[in-house]
Structure 1
Amino acid sequence: MTITHIAAGDMHSMLLTDDHQLWAMGNGNDGQLCDGETTAQRTPIKTLAGVRSVALGGKHSLILKTDGSLWACGNNEFGQLGDGGSGKMSTPVRVMDGIAAIAAGGAHSLALKTDGSLWSFGQNTYGQLGTGDTDPRRTPVKIMDGVHAVAAGPDHSLILMNDGALWGVGHNNNSQLGDGSTANHAQPIRILESVQAMAAGNGYSMMLKTDGSLWMVGFDGGGQLGDGGNINRKTPFMLRDGVHAIDAGSAHSLALDTAGALWTFGYNDSGQLGSGHSDTLRQPLRVLQDVAAIAAGGYHTLALRTDGSVWVTGSNGSGQIGLGRGTQSVSAFQALTLPETP
Structure 2
Amino acid sequence: MSETGTNINNSGRKVISVAAGEAHTLALTGDGSVYSWGRGTFGRLGTGSELDRLFPVKVESSFTERVKFVGVSAGAYHSLALSDDGLVWSWGQNTYGQLGVNGENSLVPSLVKGFHGLSATDGSLRKSDTALKISSVKAGGMMSLAIDDIGSLWIWGNCPPQDAPKEGEEFSLLPTYIPTPVWNFHGQTVVKVACGSEHIVALVSTGETHKGGDLVCYSWGNNNHGQLGLGDTEIRTTPQIIETFDSESPWVAYEVACGAFHTSILAYKKEDLDSLKCVCWTFGLGENGQLGLGTTKNMSQPKTVKSLPLNVWLVSVDCGLFHTSVVSSVGDVWSWGMENGLGLCNEASFTESEGGDALIPRLIQCKEQHGSKFSDPIQVACGAAHTVLVTDNGYKLWSWGRGRSGVLGNGQVNDFFDPDLVLWPPLHEDFVKMEPQSISIIKRTAIIDDDDKSSKDITEIEKKLAIMERYASILHGSIFGKPFEEENDIPVSLQKSGSFDFGREWENMLESCDQGKLLRLEMFYRGMLTGVKDKIMKKKIKEMIKECIES
Scaled by the length of structure 2, what TM-score is found?
0.58
- Aligned residues of 2:138 and 2:144 also touching (Cα < 8 A): yes
- Aligned residues of 2:341 and 2:357 also touching (Cα < 8 A): no
Take 2:396 and 2:387, find their aligned partners in 1: how far apart are those partners? 14
- Do structure 1's residue 112 and structure 2's residue 137 form an aligned pair? no
Alpha-carbon distance change, 284 to 269 in structure 1, aligned in 2, over 3 angstroms: closer
- Do structure 1's residue 309 and structure 2's residue 396 form an aligned pair? yes
- Do structure 1's residue 177 and structure 2's residue 228 form an aligned pair? yes
Structure with the higher fraction of residues in strand conformation: 1
Q: Offset at 1:132?
A: 4.0
Q: Offset at 1:177?
A: 0.3
Other structure's SS at 1:210 match: strand
Question: Which of 277, 298, 310 pairs up with 1:232?
Answer: 298
**Post-superposition CA distance 1:106-136 (Å, at most 9, x none):** 1111000010000000112x43xxx446532
Take 1:202 and 1:122, find their aligned partners in 2: how far apart are those partners? 16
What amino acid is the match of 1:74? G
Residue 323 of structure 2 corresponds to which residue in structure 1?
252
Take 2:341 and 2:221, find their aligned partners in 1: how far apart are those partners? 28
Alpha-carbon distance change, 174 to 272 in structure 1, aligned in 2, over 3 angstroms: closer
What amino acid is the match of 1:230? T
What amino acid is the match of 2:392? T
Residue 201 of structure 2 corresponds to which residue in structure 1?
158
Take 2:296 and 2:32, find their aligned partners in 1: how far apart are those partners? 42
Other structure's SS at 1:23 match: strand
> Where in structure 2 are the equivalents of 1:171-250 lying within 5 Å?
171-191=222-242, 192-193=244-245, 194-211=252-269, 212-240=278-306, 241=310, 242=312, 243-250=314-321
Report how many residues are paired: 336
Question: Which of 291, 296, 300 pairs up with 2:386?
Answer: 300
Q: Offset at 1:259?
A: 2.1
**Post-superposition CA distance 1:17-74 (Å, at most 9, x none):** 2211111011111011111112221221111351111110011101111222111011
Take 1:328 and 1:155, find their aligned partners in 2: how far apart are those partners? 31
Take 1:138 and 1:166, find their aligned partners in 2: how far apart are those partners? 27
- Aligned residues of 1:78 and 1:86 also touching (Cα < 8 A): no
> Where in structure 2 are the equivalents of 1:88-99 lying within 5 Å?
88-96=105-113, 98-99=133-134
The structure showing larger relative contact order (alpha-carbon pairs under 8 Å, at least 6 residues apart) is 1
Residue 175 of structure 2 corresponds to which residue in structure 1?
136
Q: Offset at 1:292?
A: 2.0
Residue 321 of structure 1 corresponds to which residue in structure 2?
408
Q: Offset at 1:270?
A: 8.7
Take 1:169 and 1:103, find their aligned partners in 2: how far apart are those partners? 16
**Post-superposition CA distance 1:77-115 (Å, at most 9, x none):** 1111112x1310111111145111111111111000010
Take 2:329 and 2:297, find their aligned partners in 1: how far apart are those partners? 28
- Do structure 1's residue 18 and structure 2's residue 30 form an aligned pair? yes
Question: Which of 56, 66, 82 pairs up with 1:44?
Answer: 56
What amino acid is the match of 1:73? W
Q: Which runs of 5+ in 2 are unaligned?
A: 1-12, 61-66, 114-131, 165-172, 207-214, 246-251, 270-277, 366-372, 433-551
- Aligned residues of 1:247 and 1:253 also touching (Cα < 8 A): yes
Structure with the higher fraction of residues in helix conformation: 2
Residue 85 of structure 2 corresponds to which residue in structure 1?
67
What amino acid is the match of 2:231? G
Identity, % of aligned pairs?
A: 27
Q: Which runs of 5+ in 1 are unaligned?
A: none
